[in-house]
Copies of this chain bind each other. A is one copy, B any other.
Amino acid sequence: MARKTGSHSEITGPRIRGAALRLFARHGFAAVSMRQIAAEVGVQAGALYLYTPDKETLLFDLLKAHMDELIAAWEAEPKGDGPLARLEGFVRFHIRFNLERPDAVFLSYMELRNLGPDNFAAIEALRRDYETRLETILRDGQAAGLLAAPDTKIASLAIIAMLTGVNTWYREGGRLSRQRVGDIYWDMVRKAVAA
């Protein structure tokens, strides 16, 4: 009994990360065992160590990949014309992107404490990078006299917290469409930092 028929590195690797992401988000990093992840994939626990050096690195890779995707997706987003359009773009992008990856978003906000100092710092830096992009929009808008936030740094954190909160209550097929959710939040954000 050893190698399975049809087994491939390119298949098992992603399946492990997928199972780990789902299980970590659902039950918490510490509550999920390597054996559970392996069972989900249909493999023995030892096989996981062909794909990750240890459990913490598995978590780190998930968080890192999520943050990289987030920033890359925002970079690829068509930029609006002027600070107001850019701000609207950010609001709608953040909601849309996060609603498509609820598990990764939850992990990124809840399991940072399970990382060692170096890994923690790496993820934190990426998060700050993302936050700075919003702050830049707010500062530009302020300079142009289009926006007025009492403190652009705090305002960007407040806006992101508010937008990320959508993930805690939004349910597919519920009362509100994604489009409508975007409209509602854009209305509130726009007014909150209006000049």
Using CB atoms and an 8 Å cutoff, list the residues of chain A in contact with chain B: 26-31, 110-111, 113-114, 149-151, 154-155, 157-162, 164-165, 168-169, 176, 181, 183-185, 187-189, 191-194
Q: Which of B28, B151, B168, B183 contacts A184 (CB 8 A)?
A: B151
Q: Which of B111, B183, B193 contacts A150 (CB 8 A)?
A: B183
9 pairs from A and B in contact (CB 8 Å cutoff): A28-B29, A29-B31, A154-B184, A155-B184, A157-B165, A161-B161, A162-B165, A188-B193, A189-B192
Q: Which B residues are in CB contact (< 8 Å) with A150? A: 183-184, 187-188
Q: How far is the CA of A27 from the CA of B114 in the complex (A)?
A: 7
User: Given contacts A157-B169, A189-B192, A192-B191, is CB(A31)–CB(B162) below 8 Å?
Assistant: no
Measured between C-beta atoms, what is the minimum distance from A9 to chain B in Å? 31
Q: Which of B29, B114, B168, B188 contacts A155 (CB 8 A)?
A: B188
Measured between C-beta atoms, what is the minimum distance from A112 to chain B in Å? 10
Measured between C-beta atoms, what is the minimum distance from A15 to chain B in Å? 23
Measured between C-beta atoms, what is the minimum distance from A60 to chain B in Å? 16
Q: Which B residues are in CB contact (< 8 Å) with A114? A: 28, 31
Q: Which of B162, B181, B191 contacts A162 (CB 8 A)?
A: B162
Q: Which of B28, B188, B192 contacts A113 (CB 8 A)?
A: B28
Q: Which of B30, B162, B168 contacts A28 (CB 8 A)?
A: B30
- 7 nearest interchain CB pairs? A161-B165, A30-B31, A30-B30, A192-B192, A162-B162, A188-B192, A150-B184
Q: How far is the CA of A189 from the CA of B28 in the complex (A)?
A: 33
Q: Which B residues are in CB contact (< 8 Å) with A110? A: 110
